Amino acid sequence: MTFIVLLDIINIVDLGDFMDRIIMHIDVNNAFLSWTAIYLLNNGYKYDIRDSYAVIGGDEKTRNGIVLAKSIPAKKMGIYTSETLYSARKKCPALKCYPPNYLFYSEMSDKLFKLLNKYTPDIEVASIDECYLDYTPVKNIYGDEVEFAKKIQKEIYDTLKFTVNIGIANNKLCAKMASDFEKPFKIHTLYDYEVKKKMWPLPIGDLFGIGKRSAEKLINLGIKNIADLANADVSYLSKYFKNQAINMVNSANGIDNSRVVSEISVAKSIGNEITLEHDVSNKEELKKHLLYISDKVARRLRNDNKYAYVVVLVLKDKYFVRKSKQKKLNNPTNVTEDIYNTSVEILNSIDNMEPVRLIGIQLTNLVDTCDHQVSLFEDIDIVENNEVLDKTIDTLKDKYGSSILKKASLMNVKDRRRLHDK
C-alpha cells in the first residue's frame, strides 16, 4: 500500500511540473504573402500586396500551379490555399500571382528566430514560420507572460515589418491551438483550466493533429466537436484508429507532455525536422522547407567542423507513418548546396508519396576531415571554394544578419540577374 501511495505522489509531482510550464507558440501571420510583400517593398514596389487581390503560387504555365498563400482580400473572394491558380482566377479575374521566394523566406525566418534567441535559447523550430518557446525558465526575468508576448509582437512588427500570433499555454499542443484562434496580430491563452471553455466547443477538424480524413471518420462516428472526442471511449475508438486513439483523446483533453526541444542531435548524426501546419503533397512546396533545413544542418556541421557522407530524408505522412530514404555521397560535405540538392534528389525519386506532415534531414557517417576524391569532371578549387564561401556566409550572418549575403547558386532567377547586372 505504501508503495502505491509513493507512486501517486510521484505522478502528482510530475504532473505539477508540466502544469507549471508556460509555453508560447509564435506563428507568422500569412508568412509567404507577408514576406513577399516586404521583399517587393524593399525593392521599390509601390504598394503593399497584402492589401490587394494577391496570392503566392507556382508556375501557371505548367498547369500545376497552386495557391500557397493568399491575401485577406483574396480570401474574401473565396480563394483558399492549395486550390489551383486556374480556379482562383475564375473567382477573381483581378487576381495577381507572385512566385515564392524561398531564399528570402529563409532569411526572414532566420531574423525572427535570432530575435527570439535574444531572450531565451529554449526555442523549438516547428516550421519556417513558427516555433515554440519555453518561457518557464525566464519568467522571473521578464515577468508576466502576456505582457512579454505583447513586447515580442511589437518588436517583431517594428523591426521586421510583419505580424505574428502568439498562443500561451501550459503545453505545446494548447499553445499551438491558442495561436490558431482569431487572427491576425493576436495573443490568446489556453491554460489547462481554459480547455473546456475555449477548446472543447471547436469543430473536431480544428484539433491540431487531426487531418481531414480523420475528421471525416470521426464525424461519421458521431464525434463532431473536440468535447465529443475528449469524452469518447478509447477502446471504441481503437477499433477505427488503433494506437492513435489514446493520443487523440489526450489531445482533445489538452494533454501534452512533450518538451520544447531546441535542436535534434545525436552522437553520430546531426539533423533537423519540422512539423508542417497542414499535410503537404506538392513537392515544390516541400522543397522550400528542405532549403531551410539544409541551411540549418549544414551550419551545424560547419560549426562542429564535421563532414557528412550520408544524407537522409525523413518524412512522416498523414497516417503518422515515419519513413526515410538515404543517399551516400562520394565525398563527405558540409556545404549547404550539396545537402539541399541531395535531399531534393531523394525527394524527387519518391513515387506515390502520401501527403506529408513532417519533413526532416538527418546527416550521418560524420567525419572530422574531408579527403575529397576528385573526379575527371570536378574542379577541387570549386569544391573547396564552396566550403569557404559557406563559412564566410555563416560568419557574416552571425555578425550582420541573414540577409547580408546570398549564395548565387541558391538565388532565384531574378536575384541572379540583378547580381549579374551589377
Cα(28)–Cα(125) distance, integer angstroms: 12
Sheet strands side by side (includes 67-70): 67-70, 54-57, 96-98
Q: ∠ CA 204-210-214 to the nearest 5 degrees?
A: 85
Concerning whether 194 is annotated as a catalytic residue, the answer is no
Annotated catalytic residue within 124, 130, 273, 337: 130
Cα(174)–Cα(180) distance, integer angstroms: 10
Place of cell 515589418: 161
Cα(307)–Cα(42) distance, integer angstroms: 37
Cell of 99: 512566385
**Which residues, including other chains, have CB under 8 Å from residue 107's CB and lie 6 or more apart?**
402, 403
Q: Are 96 and 141 in contact (CB under 8 A)?
A: no
Can you point out the beta strands (E) in 215-354? 264-266, 269-280, 307-317, 322-333
Identify whether 201 is preceded by a cis peptide bond (ω within 30 of 0). no
Q: Are 88 and 53 in contact (CB under 8 A)?
A: no
Cα(343)–Cα(304) distance, integer angstroms: 21
Spatial CA neighbour of 112 closest among 185, 35, 220, 212: 35
Q: Are 27 and 164 in contact (CB under 8 A)?
A: yes
CB burial of residue 73 (10 Å; 0-12, 13-18, 19+)? middle
Strand partners, 33: none
Q: Within a 13 Å sphere around the CA of 193, how many CA atoms are in the beta-carbon half?
A: 1
State which amino acid sits at residue 173: L
Q: Which residues are catalytic?
A: 130
